Amino acid sequence: MADQSAARGPTWTKWLVVAVPYLWLLVFFLAPFVIIVKISLSQTAIAMPPYAPVFDGLATFWDNVRELSLENYVWLTDDPLYWRSYLSSLRIASLSTLMLLLIGYPIAYAMARAPKSIRPTLLMLVILPFWTSFLIRVYAWIGILKPEGLLTVALQGLGVLGPDEQVRIMNTETAVFIGIVYSYLPFMILPLYSALEKLDGTLLEAASDLGCPPVEAFWVITWPLSLPGVIAGCFLCFIPIMGEFVIPDLLGGSETLMIGRTLWNEFFSNRDWPVSSAVAVVLLVILVVPIMVFQNYQKKI
């Protein structure tokens, strides 16, 4: 009996440990997502909340369910604004992630190969921007990139620009790329650094002793072993960039289309909660499906 009681104790503990994260996901992810899906199937109404039907009890539950429809999702396919916003966000997020990888990989590699005594300092310098508000950092780029800003003044002082010339970067897609790369670079560097720091240096020494050129040794040894960090960094950057709103709104012009900005306008300016909820659901599907496919592919390897 004592042995059975001792066996039951750890079993209940294991179930409790497993149940806590599932309960967390149920309360803070699944339940809000179900609410958003329900709103996306509703119709716009001049009321509070601004959609109908509103489930107000079990008596009218099935009547309200019958009123739900896919009309808002059909509307997204009919209006070119939405699919253009999705395609533009995919393009900007993909190009930004590629630029972040091209810039972040050499930085992370240099940090991983630096003497161990200065690695904590280099890591702190990468994390340092997080000590300042994200919004303040984006606003700082307005002061740098605007026509009469610091960049124009600096280039005029160096003689690159004439006294009457100005840099025309603000309110363009270029400014959006600059803001995104600056803001998300730490998210790319940190997982890359974590993967590269664990790399066994003796593998590169052995490759060199066997006559392997440094460039070939990089592609044969370093790059494959750093792929987990590359994939993690790309996901950490691509997913939030896809739904980015602040940077396109502050640094981009009126022609800069991103789905986060479109979602904000539908929700707060037009007060069209059903359409904005449909936009959010489609965005989530676009982001989640590739991740699930990749995870299934990883399990098969």
Domains of the chain: which residue ranges? 1-36, 79-300
What is residue 78's predicted lDDT score, i.e. its pLDDT? Answer: 87
Q: Which tokens sit at 83?
A: 């699919």
| DSSP SS3 for 62 | helix
Average pLDDT, the chain: 87
- Mean pLDDT, to the nearest integer, of 209-215? 86
| Digit-coded pLDDT (tens) for 136-166 | 999 999 999 998 889 988 998 888 888 888 8
| Digit-coded pLDDT (tens) for 222-259 | 999 999 999 999 999 999 999 898 999 999 887 788 99
With a pLDDT cut of 90, the percent of the chain lying above it is 41
Please check the confidence at residue 2 and state whether its pLDDT lies above 70. Answer: no
Is the C-alpha dihedral spanning 242, 248, 250, 254 positive or negative? Answer: negative
Q: Which of 50-54, 188-192, 212-216 has the highest mean pLDDT?
A: 188-192
| Residue 301's pLDDT band (cuts 50, 70, 90) | low
Q: Are 197 and 238 in contact (CB under 8 A)?
A: no
Please check the confidence at residue 88 and state whether its pLDDT lies above 90. Answer: yes
| Residue 300's pLDDT band (cuts 50, 70, 90) | low
Q: Which residue would you say has higher pLDDT here, 209 or 96?
A: 96
Please check the confidence at residue 95 and state whether its pLDDT lies above 70. Answer: yes
What is residue 278's predicted lDDT score, i.e. its pLDDT? Answer: 92
Distance CA 231, CA 222 (A): 14
| Digit-coded pLDDT (tens) for 286-297 | 888 777 877 776
The separation between CA 121 and the C-alpha centre of its own chain, rounded to angstroms, equals 26
Q: Are 187 and 237 in contact (CB under 8 A)?
A: yes
What is residue 20's predicted lDDT score, i.e. its pLDDT? Answer: 85
* CATH code assigned to 79-300: 1.10.3720.10
